[in-house]
């Protein structure tokens, strides 16, 4: 009992030393400010987030390359987090299929407490190393996978244990943290540190730390998908038009990428069965739907490669 009490005391002291837990003098007397003053204070502090993320760009690039390499070998990107970090991870993971039209298996998430934690706080699970190991073990990580642990403090037991387990089983591991020299950073192959400093509301890491995490995960998934060819130029060509807004977006993409007018873009999109990548390969390579589909299949959905391949096939047939 004495040992446990001593550990709790040590943990409290360590927590207070973290930059994200300190008092922010810029927001002193926040409760006495007007609405406009509060907004200005938060805005000034938020302006520091991009600079903090900029300091970690080399590590972010390393992680993008690891993820792209894993996904190209049919591996997975699996995010692990608790609380705010887990919810941000879930948001990035579930947005990848509609943005890039990839299989949901490709980018996954684990949140302490399971799916119910997305809408309800389940803080107790954060302290369980055993639950962290069990959650990642259920995913059966291998050398083909990249596991990204997200924790503002960098010391959440659930996430640290998950990363340690994944690394021991051959997976590449990445830490996204907001405090330097953290246990999570030390456990991972690549440590991405966005040192955002004290929060406007002391310890409320859903604020600057959460914003930094969202920015970094945006870079990781978008960077990897772009490297893999799921973006053409800077266009979201793998969009799957399931409603009128997305149909119009698809038509607009074809207008820009293939130099078509509105009517021609709509016509070729219809001929492609509503699939923007297929329509773009058809338009750029001058081939029919079947050849475009075959080129995309052989290039694993990479539009630029599929266009080149379809053009070569067309020239060969001539």
DSSP letters of 132-164?
HHHHHHTT---TT-EEEEEESSS--HHHHHHHH
Residues comprising the chain, all counted: 318
Q: What is the dihedral of CA 181, 76, 64, 132, to 10 degrees?
A: -10
Q: Is the Cβ–Cβ distance between 106 and 94 less than 8 Å?
A: no
Active-site choice (21, 45, 126, 199): 126
Q: Is the Cβ–Cβ distance between 33 and 40 less than 8 Å?
A: no
Note if 126 is an active site residue: yes
Helices 276-285 and 262-271 pack at an angle, to 10 degrees, of 110
- In the chain, what is the straight-line distance between the N-terminal and C-terminal CA atoms, in Å? 82
Q: How far apart are CA 247 and CA 239, in angstroms?
A: 9
Q: Distances from the Cα of 187 to the Cαs of 7, 148, 174, in angstroms? A: 20, 11, 9
Active-site choice (95, 123, 248, 315): 95
Q: How far apart are CA 122 and CA 218, in angstroms?
A: 25
Extract the runs of DSSP E, i.e. beta strands, from the chain.
77-81, 107-111, 146-151, 172-177, 190-193
Q: Is the Cβ–Cβ distance between 140 and 119 less than 8 Å?
A: no
Q: Distances from the Cα of 106 to the Cαs of 63, 121, 146, 199, in angstroms? A: 16, 27, 11, 34
Q: Strands 146-151 and 172-177: what pairing?
A: parallel
Q: State the catalytic residues.
A: 95, 126
């Amino acid at each position: 009992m004495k040992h446990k009490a001593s550990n709790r005391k040590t943990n409290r002291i360590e927590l207070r030393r973290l930059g994200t837990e300190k008092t922010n003098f810029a927001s002193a007397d926040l409760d006495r400010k007007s609405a406009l003053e509060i907004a200005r204070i938060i805005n000034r502090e938020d302006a520091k987030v991009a600079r903090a993320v900029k300091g970690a760009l080399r590590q972010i690039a390393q992680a993008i390359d690891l993820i792209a390499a894993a996904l190209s070998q049919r591996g997975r990107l699996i995010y692990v987090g608790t609380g705010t970090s887990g919810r941000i991870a879930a948001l990035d993971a579930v947005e990848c299929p509609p943005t890039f039209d990839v299989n949901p298996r490709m980018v996954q998430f684990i949140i302490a407490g399971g799916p119910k934690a997305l809408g309800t706080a389940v803080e107790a699970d954060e302290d369980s190393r055993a639950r962290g190991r069990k959650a990642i073990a259920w995913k059966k990580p291998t050398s083909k996978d990249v596991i990204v642990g997200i924790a503002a403090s960098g010391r959440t037991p659930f996430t640290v244990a998950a990363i340690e387990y994944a690394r021991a089983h051959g997976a590449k591991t990445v830490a996204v943290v907001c405090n330097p020299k953290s246990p999570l950073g030390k456990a991972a192959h690549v440590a991405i540190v966005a040192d955002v400093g004290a929060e406007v509301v002391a310890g409320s890491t859903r604020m600057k730390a959460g914003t930094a995490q969202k920015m970094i995960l945006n870079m990781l998934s978008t960077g990897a998908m772009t490297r893999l060819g799921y973006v053409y130029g800077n266009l979201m060509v793998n969009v799957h038009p399931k409603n009128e807004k997305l149909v119009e977006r698809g038509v607009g993409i074809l207008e820009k990428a293939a130099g078509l007018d509105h009517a021609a873009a709509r016509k070729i999109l219809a001929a492609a069965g509503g699939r923007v990548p297929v329509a773009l390969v058809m338009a750029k390579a001058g081939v029919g739907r079947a050849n475009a589909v075959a080129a995309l299949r052989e290039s694993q959905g990479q539009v630029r490669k599929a266009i080149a391949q379809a053009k070569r096939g067309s020239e060969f047939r001539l």
